[in-house]
């Protein structure tokens, strides 16, 4: 039998090839690092700070304790004793991984129980669990919608994963102005004879903290016979009387066609989901590439997520506390004169305008013991840079007041930003 030579097994790396062959690597080597490098040189690079503790209301960074206002662990479930206990028990029984994709050898009873619980939680017939919220949105949209027969009508501020799902599936789409129902109506009217219509929105918008005007969207969907797909990532476990999401918040629980989202925020774990009619979910389980070709969630993660939903249902005080804290933070920031847009959730943007101002304010807050994150272009439009504040149920009143005091002091530590005009009001329910 002919054997391979070491050279054939380990061919020379691209460094030995002509430069034209390694152009794909040149892109990585030569991309414009001026911006992050300059931020680092100026002491303004505040991304990917290394945590030395769990992501709770207080974290350790470089040996120093900070109040955490940059986490999406809204209810504190990542460290809830019942959630941790469920995960550890599952690890003892099943180990740390599923061993395969779900279709072939990686389905456990815990996967099926998790999906049943998600469907119950969202008021739908069935649900599918994915490896992440990003995969959920990309796989669901690119699988369900067709470039030959469908048109998506999307809010201009939908999450990047939703847009990537449309691009991956080459689905034609039209964009309507954020939460502008007149523009949505116009876009639907001008598209109704060009294909089947699907309206795609976020439930809670991750950079603004405001909510989709779901009652009007629902009415327009009925008028034009359009489907409604919602990314409920920042609403699941957070919005509505029982934390079931945007639809429950507006009295539309169980009436939305497809609800998608992540399991890593309000539910405290990792993964993603889509919930809807049983035949649609079955179709996704056998055709969605992000499900078929992706390893199953670890059984311990499933057990933790099930326990998290138990906590939400049986310990409503966490949801109550979350909104008390968010209301206190919003009111305090407004009284200090900060522009927080139309936030009515646990996501509160402090809109400062210029990117540099957002970086400077974040640095000042970090120095004062407050962990927040700057959000600049292209994550948001130019001139709308902000510091994003995420409130948790596990913050104490004293934590909120300390953060507000820090914001007041931090403002004096940077050049005063130009005042930002308040965004236009929309007709929506007040949290």
Average pLDDT over the chain reads: 91
On the question of a common fold for 38-68+317-413 and 79-314, the answer reads no
Beta bridge partners of 262: 272
- Check residue 17 and give its pLDDT: 56
Q: Which of 161, 191, 206, 345 is labelled catalytic?
A: 206
Which pLDDT band, with edges at 50, 70 and 90, does 226 fall under?
very high
- Per-residue pLDDT tens over the stretch 32-63: 555 677 777 777 788 888 988 998 999 999 99
d(CA 288, CA 291): 5
For residue 371, list its beta bridge partners: 68
Q: Is 265 a catalytic residue?
A: yes
DSSP conformation letters of 77-112: GGG-HHHHHHHHHHHHHH-S---SBTTTT---HHHH
State the catalytic residue, choosing from 187, 253, 265, 395.
265
Q: Is the pLDDT of residue 139 over 60?
A: yes
pLDDT more than 70, % of the chain: 89
Identify the weakest region by mean pLDDT among 147-156, 317-326, 356-365, 416-425: 416-425
- Is 111 annotated in the active site? no
Max CA pair span of the chain: 81
Tokens 């439930």 belong to residue: 203
**Assigned CATH topology for domain 38-68+317-413:** 3.90.1150
Summarize pLDDT for 93-108 with one digit per residue, the tens.
Answer: 999 999 999 999 999 9
Q: Specify the pLDDT at position 416.
A: 57
Residue identified by tokens 């000042």 is 364
A 10 A CB-CB count for 297 gives 27
Residue 388 has pLDDT above 90, yes or no: yes
Give the position of tokens 């292209």.
378
Other Cβ atoms within 10 Å of 146 Cβ, number: 14
Given the residues 234, 253, 366, 395, select the one marked as catalytic: 234
Give the pLDDT of residue 430: 35
pLDDT at 68 (0 to 100): 97
Residue-range domain boundaries for the chain: 38-68+317-413, 79-314
Residues across the chain: 431
φ/ψ of 173, rounded to 5, equals -145, 155
Measure the CA–CA gap between 267 and 128, rounded to whole angstroms.
Answer: 16
Per-residue pLDDT, 316:
97
Return the CATH number of the domain spanning residue range 79-314: 3.40.640.10
Known catalytic residue at 331: no
């Amino acid at each position: 039998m002919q054997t391979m030579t070491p050279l054939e097994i380990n061919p020379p790396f691209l460094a030995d090839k002509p430069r034209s062959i390694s152009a794909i690597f040149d892109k990585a080597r030569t991309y414009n690092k001026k911006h992050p490098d300059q931020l680092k040189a100026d002491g303004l690079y505040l991304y990917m700070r290394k945590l030395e503790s769990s992501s709770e209301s207080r974290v350790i960074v470089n040996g120093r304790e900070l109040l955490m206002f940059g986490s999406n662990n809204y209810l504190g479930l990542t460290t809830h004793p019942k959630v941790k206990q469920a995960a550890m028990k599952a690890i003892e029984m099943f180990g740390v991984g599923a061993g395969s994709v779900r279709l072939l050898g990686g389905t456990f009873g815990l996967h099926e129980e998790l999906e049943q619980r998600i469907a119950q939680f969202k008021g739908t017939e069935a649900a599918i669990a994915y490896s992440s919220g990003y995969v959920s949105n990309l796989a669901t949209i690119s699988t369900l919608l067709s470039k030959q027969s469908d048109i998506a009508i999307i809010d201009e501020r939908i999450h990047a994963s939703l847009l990537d799902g449309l691009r991956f599936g080459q689905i034609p789409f039209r964009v309507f102005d954020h939460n502008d129902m007149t523009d949505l109506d116009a876009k639907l009217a001008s598209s109704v004879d060009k294909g089947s219509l699907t309206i795609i929105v976020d439930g809670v918008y991750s950079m603004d903290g405001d909510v989709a005007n779901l009652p009007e969207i629902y009415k327009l969907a009925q008028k034009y016979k359009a489907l409604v797909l919602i990314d409920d990532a920042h609403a699941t476990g957070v919005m509505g009387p029982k934390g079931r999401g945007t639809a429950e918040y507006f009295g539309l629980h169980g009436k939305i066609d497809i609800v998608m989202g992540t399991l890593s925020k309000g539910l405290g774990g990792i993964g993603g989901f889509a919930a809807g009619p049983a035949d649609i979910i079955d179709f996704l389980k056998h055709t969605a590439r992000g499900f078929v070709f992706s390893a199953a969630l670890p059984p311990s993660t499933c057990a933790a997520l099930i326990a998290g939903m138990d906590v939400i249902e049986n310990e409503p005080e966490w949801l109550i506390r979350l909104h008390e804290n968010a209301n206190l933070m919003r009111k305090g920031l407004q009284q200090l004169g900060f522009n927080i847009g139309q936030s009515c959730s646990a996501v509160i943007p402090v809109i400062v305008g210029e990117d540099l101002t957002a970086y400077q304010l974040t640095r000042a807050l970090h120095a004062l013991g407050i962990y927040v994150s700057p959000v600049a272009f292209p994550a948001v439009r130019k001139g709308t840079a902000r510091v994003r504040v995420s409130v948790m149920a596990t913050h104490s009143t004293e934590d909120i007041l300390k953060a507000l005091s820090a914001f007041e002091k931090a403002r004096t530590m940077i050049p005063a930003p130009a005042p930002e005009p308040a965004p236009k009001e929309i007709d929506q329910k007040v949290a």
